[in-house]
Amino acid sequence: MKQVFTNATIYTGKESLTGSAILVDDGIITGFVYDTDIPDEYEVKDLGGNNIAPALIDLQIYGGNGYLFSADPSIEAIEATYNYSLQGGASKFLLTAATNTREVFSKAISVARQYLNAGGRGLPGLHLEGPWINPEKRGAHLLECIHRPTLDEAKKLVDEADGVVKMITLAPEMVDEEIVDHLLANGIVVSAGHTNATYKEAMKGFEKIGNVTHLFNAMSQFQSREPGMVGAIYDHPSVCCSLVADGVHVDYAAIRISKRILRDRIWLITDAVAETVKGPYEHVFKGDRYVLPDGTLSGSSLTMMKAIKNCIDHVGIDIEEALRMGSLYPARVLGIDNKTGLIERNYEGSFVVFDNEMNVIDVSG
Q: Indicate which residues carry an active-site annotation.
A: 271
* Residue of 225, 136, 208 lying closest to 192 (CA atoms): 208
**What is d(CA 237, CA 356) in angstroms, rounded to the nearest whole number?**
35
Contact 89, 130 (CB under 8 A): no
Beta bridge partners of 52: 10, 353
**What is d(CA 67, CA 116) in angstroms, rounded to the nearest whole number?**
19
Q: What is the DSSP string of 213-253?
A: SSTTTTB----SS--HHHHHHHHSSS-EEEEE-SSSSS-HH
* Residue of 264, 355, 262, 357 lying closest to 14 (CA atoms): 264
**What is d(CA 331, CA 94) in angstroms, rounded to the nearest whole number?**
12
Question: Quick one: which H or E segment has residue 116?
Answer: helix 102-117
**What is d(CA 285, CA 274) in angstroms, rounded to the nearest whole number?**
8
* Residue of 15, 28, 24, 63 lying closest to 47 (CA atoms): 24
Alpha carbons within 13 angstroms on the beta-carbon side of residue 175 total 35
Question: Quick one: which H or E segment has residue 67?
Answer: strand 67-68
Q: Which of helix, strand or coil describes residue 156? A: helix
Query: What phi and psi values does residue 204 have, to the nearest 5 degrees?
Result: -65, -45
The angle subtended at Cα 93 by Cα 88 and Cα 97, nearest 5°, is 115
